[in-house]
Amino acid sequence: MASASTVKTWIGRPFSGGVHPEDFKSLTNKQVAKIPYFQPDKVYLPLLLSNGILLKPLVNVGQEVKKGQLLAIGISNSQPPLHSPVNGIVETIAPYIAHHPSKARLDTIHIKCFKDQTWSSKFKSRSVVGLSSSEVIQYIQEAGIVGLGGAGFPTSMKAHFAKQANVDTLVINGGECEPYITCDDLVMRLHCNEVIAGIRLLMVATGAKRAIVGIENNKLESYELMRSAASDDDNIAIELVPTLYPMGSERHLIKTLTGKTVPTGKLSTDIGIVVNNIATARAVYHAVRYSRPLVTRVITVSGLGIESPRNVEIPLGTRVKDLIGYCGGLKMDCERLIFGGPMMGQVISDLDIPITKTVNALLALTSEEIGSDEQQDCIRCGQCVRACPMGLMPFKMRAASESSDYDLVERLGINQCLSCGACSYICPSRVPLVQFFQHAKGILTQRRMSSMRQEKAKKLAEMKTIRLAKEAEAKKAAKAAKKRKRSRRTNSKPMVEVDV
Ligand code: SF4
Ligand code: SF4
């Protein structure tokens, strides 16, 4: 176990802003020998990716499916395919509730699960020695892996872009800075060797020469185990970073670990860095080493509103209500259910919603944990400004947003806002700052889309005018050529001699 003398200590903050919310990690970070697995009776798999793209089903109603079998695909390799998380039978393919802002019912594959959930022998282990970048990327793509930290970007695409951008550093996000969430911590403690093996494969895929894993200094056991697992590899560094929200933000973790700043409007690959998270690295190992697609995930179920908070591995498509039942049910004083952490998570409106690849936590919060919703007037105390990790002026952005002055909101830098919620958390007047920013971002996105549409329509109209002018010109030229030809023919006719 790390002691105070062996761990790196930080003097001051690695970046400006940030907050220290109560972490509630002790609810679920107890020592366990094995991550428990929950097998529901049925799973529900929406045919929609997190970027809004629809998938085409490859199975029929009544068909038996095997765990890991391909169920649905997109129209290109950039869209991660969907695999069966269970051995079972397709009961129906029909609209079903999904976790989607529109609350729409989406086409969903409903599978009744069999008792036997062993992997078929079709999924064989393979050697990972000597694989090329394109081979690893292909295996990741075929396995349907997306960023499991919540963003959901296809991992194969990320690795492909990183390789093209010639990145030299792979940063692995072991921060897990949101309160309550401990699933990555548990994965590092119980499966550090698989995570390190996955990191090595991601280095091959992206072409990165070195990897740095950043772990918050409230997870000393994970830090020690990961250090030991990587001790024979000089190219992988395991670093402790201060426990400070939002350390898990890509740009803040990069700044803390490398001292480099990702310029505004640029990507981390522009400065030679690509970021992935702990669970994603482990999924990559399973995909490449055992040819197993991404069909399960470890999720934290926590909060004072649930009977038995714990980390659990579930097949994708497990419904919220089934998982809650497995964790002992909700307590009487549970007020709110959230997917993700309390700072950036999203409220769940229906217990039937199935859990998808990007959901790392299900929280059941009581009114005591949520705190008062009673909003008061802004007292211009400036605490939100001090808390903002992006150096923004949240109270000014809120005022501009409230008066619908979206040009000013934009000038104040809303596009740099991470929606991290640090400002809302610290505000003594409980001003719902992030809600205002999300609304303003929606309006600005609509405005951008509409001006892009107008620009496109203008370009199309210009192109049409040019095309019509060219066609008229061509017609005129053809007519003139015809006329010239006819007159040449007339002039060259032989003189007819007339007998008199
Ligand atoms: S923290 Fe709240 S009360 Fe203070 S300036 Fe910001 S919005 Fe106003
Ligand atoms: S939500 Fe936006 S404005 Fe508020 S602290 Fe985070 S980055 Fe700053």
Q: Is the pLDDT of residue 494 over 80?
A: no
Query: Beta 70-73 vs 310-315: how paired, if at all?
Result: unpaired
Task: Determine how many CB atoms are found less than 10 A away from the CB of residue 463.
Answer: 10
Q: How far is the CA of 426 from the centre of ligand 1 (A)?
A: 8
CATH number for 377-475 (one of 1.10.260, 1.10.1060, 1.20.120, 1.10.357): it is 1.10.1060
Query: Residue 297: beta bridge partners?
Result: 314
pLDDT above 60: residue 69: yes
Question: Could you tell which of 395, 396, 434 is best to mutate to test the pocket of ligand 1, judged by most ligand atoms within 8 Å of the CB?
Answer: 395
- In angstroms, the CA 345 to CA 365 distance is 12
Task: Indicate if the pLDDT at residue 4 is higher than 60.
Answer: no
Nearest residue by C-alpha to atom 5 in ligand 2: 388
Ligand 2 binding residues, C-beta < 6 A:
387-390, 392, 394, 417-423, 433-434, 437
Tell me if 417 is assigned to a ligand binding site: yes
Q: Which two tokens stand for residue 342?
A: 């309390």
More confident residue, 121 or 169: 169
Indicate which atom in ligand 1 lies nearest the CA of residue 379.
Answer: 3
- The answer to whether 69 and 51 have CB atoms below 8 angstroms apart is no
Ligand 2 centroid to residue 421 C-alpha, Å: 6
Q: Within a 13 Å sphere around the CA of 89, how many CA atoms are in the beta-carbon half?
A: 5
pLDDT at 90: 98
For the record, the structure tokens of 243 come out as 């426990």
Ligand 2 atom at minimum distance from 418 CA: 7
Asked whether residue 384 is marked as a ligand-binding residue, the answer is yes
Element at 33 (helix H, strand E): none
Least Cα distance to 67 among 234, 291, 338 occurs for 291
Cis peptide before 246 (omega within 30 of 0): yes
Check residue 149 and report its DSSP letter.
T
Residue 183, marked binder: no
| Residue whose pair of structure tokens reads 């399973």 in the numeric block | 286
pLDDT category of residue 115 using cuts at 50, 70 and 90: very high
Mean pLDDT, residues 407-411: 95
CA gap 399, 266 in Å, rounded? 28
Residue 40: its pLDDT value, please?
97
How many whole angstroms separate alpha carbon 9 and alpha carbon 219? 14
- Ligand 2 mean position to 417 CA, how many Å? 5
- Residue 6 pLDDT more than 90? no
Coil vs helix vs strand at 339: strand
Tokens 């892009």 map to which residue?
Answer: 452
Are 312 and 36 in contact by the 8 Å Cβ rule? The answer is yes
Q: Which one of the ligands is nearest to 429 CA?
A: 1
End-to-end Cα separation, the chain, in angstroms: 129
Compute the distance between CA of residue 364 and CA of residue 375 in angstroms, rounded to an integer: 23
pLDDT of residue 500: 43
Nearest-CA residue for ligand 2 atom 3 is 394
Q: Which residues does a 6 A CB cutoff place in the pocket of ligand 1?
A: 378-384, 394-395, 426-429, 431
| CA–centroid distance, residue 358 to ligand 1 (Å) | 32
Domain covering 132-294 assigned CATH 3.40.50.2300 in the classification: no
Tell me if 17 sits within 8 A of 390, measured CB to CB.
yes
DSSP lists the bridge partners of residue 97 as 105
What is d(CA 275, CA 424) in angstroms, rounded to the nearest whole number?
Answer: 27
H/E element, 195: helix 183-206
Whose tokens are 């740095």? That residue is 212
In b/e form, how buried is each residue of 315-339, taking b as 16+ CB within 10 angstroms?
bbbbbbebbbebbeebeeebbbbbb
pLDDT on residue 490: 74
Q: What percent of the chain has pLDDT over 90?
A: 78
User: What is the rounded radius of gyration, in angstroms, for the C-alpha atoms of the chain?
Assistant: 29
Name the residue ranges covered by the structural domains of the chain: 132-294, 297-370, 377-475
Give the separation between CA 82 and CA 73, rounded to whole angstroms.
6
Pick the CATH number of 297-370 from 3.90.76.10, 3.30.980.10, 3.10.20.600, 3.40.830.10: 3.10.20.600
CA 427 to centroid of ligand 1, rounded, Å = 5
Average pLDDT of the chain?
A: 91
Quickly state the pLDDT bin for 5 (edges 50, 70, 90): very low
Q: Name the nearest CA neighbour of 139 among 85, 68, 199, 205.
A: 205
Atom index in ligand 2 nearest the CA of residue 422 equals 5
Averaged pLDDT, 367-395 = 92
* pLDDT one-digit tens code per residue, 152-176: 889 999 999 999 999 999 999 998 9
Residue type, 104: A
Q: Classify residue 359 by burial, with Cβ atoms within 10 Å: 0-12, 13-18, 19+.
A: buried
For the beta carbon of residue 286, count every other beta carbon within 10 angstroms: 21
At 468 the pLDDT is 92
Is position 427 annotated in a ligand binding site?
yes
Neighbouring CB atoms inside 10 A of 438's CB total 15
Q: What residue owns the CA closest to ligand 2's atom 6?
A: 420
| pLDDT range class, residue 64, cuts 50, 70, 90 | very high
- The total of other beta-carbon atoms located within 10 Å of residue 374's CB is 7
Question: Shortest CA distance to 399 belongs to which of 428, 445, 436?
Answer: 436
- For the segment 316-350, what is each residue's pLDDT rounded down to a tens digit? 999 999 999 999 999 999 999 999 999 999 999 89
Q: Is 177 annotated as contributing to ligand binding?
A: no
What strand order describes the sheet that includes 70-73?
56-57, 70-73, 82-83
Place of tokens 């199975």: 59
Please write the tens of the pLDDT for every residue from 423-465.
999 999 999 999 999 999 999 999 888 888 898 898 999 999 9
Quote the CA–CA distance of 284 and 292 in Å, as a whole number. Answer: 9
For the CA of 424, the nearest atom of ligand 2: 4
The answer to whether the beta carbons of residues 73 and 55 sit under 8 Å apart is yes
CA of 378 from ligand 1 middle (Å) equals 5
Residue 209 DSSP symbol: S
